[in-house]
Amino acid sequence: MINTYKHLFFDLDHTLWDYDKNVAESLSELYEHFQLHTLGIPSFEAFFNAFEQVNYGLWDSFNVGTISKEELRKVRFRRIFQSVAADPDLVPELMEANFMTATSSKPHVIPDTFKILDYLKNSYRLHVITNGFDESQTQKMNASGLTGYFDLIVTSETTGHRKPDKRIFEYALTKLDVRPSECLMIGDNPLSDIAGAQNAGMDQVFFNPKGIACAVRPSYTIQKLMELKGIL
Ligand SMILES: [Mg+2]
């Protein structure tokens, strides 16, 4: 297919790096390691469900800038304990640090990640734009073998702006000295990736494996990464 794209920007979490699978694995290790059933968490399922609910809520707050990274990390497991009626003062001191280290060192990627990156890397320059933290995003990319595919890795921490703020996209455009029309953003989040890239005048691919609603109309929508072959 003929197009004018030269640069592809990928989101990391839930788009290439399998956040859900990696987190589930590390939470299950934490549950055993800290013997959480002895601290009032009735089951791993309860712990996992509470994590999902609390964590996504906190990330929404982080994404709109109402809480900081430090606050997120400080309250995450306390709120999880509270939500299953366990005493938040019993959260083990090393829990958050262990969670961060364990999760970031997990290697699982979304199906067909390497297949599609190998297909795209010869025709396009590949980059990452992520709202995660520098240290953890670097660890995740190294642990999963993704690092070598990408030229530019832009984080919200480095730029001081989070998607959907157009300034994080403009930072990447300036750094590469390219126009928005030469770029395509690929990501799973309707707000941060799709609306964000639109703000910066870039076309977007909405990676939507679960078929969730998107308030804005993306340039393209795919359910599997291999469908990028039909666009690129
Ligand atoms: Mg994402």
Q: Where are the domains of the chain?
A: 7-18+109-230, 20-104
Average pLDDT over residues 104-113: 98
pTM: 0.91
Residue 182's pLDDT is 97
pLDDT at 55 > cutoff 80 = yes
Query: Residues 147-158: what's their mean pLDDT?
Result: 96
Question: Average per-residue pLDDT in the chain?
Answer: 95
Q: How far is ligand 1, taken at its centre, from the CA of residue 164, in Å?
A: 12
Quote the pLDDT of residue 2.
59
Expressed in angstroms, the distance from the first to the final Cα of the chain is: 6
Query: Which pLDDT does position 138 carry in this prediction?
Result: 96
Question: Residue 186: which H helix or E strand, with range?
Answer: strand 183-187
Beta-carbon contacts of 197 under 8 Å, excluding residues fewer than 6 positions away, are: 9, 169, 185, 187, 203, 204
Average pLDDT over residues 113-123: 98
Q: 188 C-alpha to center of ligand 1: Å?
A: 5
Cβ proximity of 50 and 84 under 8 Å: yes
pLDDT category at 62 given cuts 50, 70, 90 is confident
- The percent of residues in the chain predicted with pLDDT above 70, rounded, is 99
Residues 6 or more apart whose CB falls under 8 angstroms from that of 19 comprise 13
The residues facing 125 across adjacent strands are: 7
Distance 74 CA to ligand 1 centre (A): 22
Domain 7-18+109-230 has CATH 3.40.50.1000: yes
State the distance from the centre of ligand 1 to the C-alpha of 13, rounded, in angstroms.
4
pLDDT digits (tens, 9 = 90+) for 161-179: 989 999 999 999 999 999 9
Query: What is the CA(19)–ligand 1 centre distance, in A?
Result: 8
pLDDT > 90? residue 1: no
Distance 10 CA to ligand 1 centre (A): 9
Q: How confident is the model at residue 196 (pLDDT cuts 50, 70, 90)?
A: very high
Please tell me the CATH superfamily of domain 20-104, with its number: Putative phosphatase; domain 2 (1.10.150.240)
Indicate if the pLDDT at residue 3 is higher than 80.
no
Above 90 in pLDDT, residue 118? yes
pLDDT digits (tens, 9 = 90+) for 213-231: 999 999 999 999 999 999 9
Q: Average pLDDT of 129-151? A: 95
At residue 15's C-alpha, the angle toward residues 181 and 137, to 5°, is 95
Cα 190 to ligand 1 centre (Å): 9
Please state, in angstroms and rounded to a whole number, the distance separating the CA atoms of residues 148 and 128. Answer: 12
Confidence of residue 202 (pLDDT cuts 50, 70, 90): very high
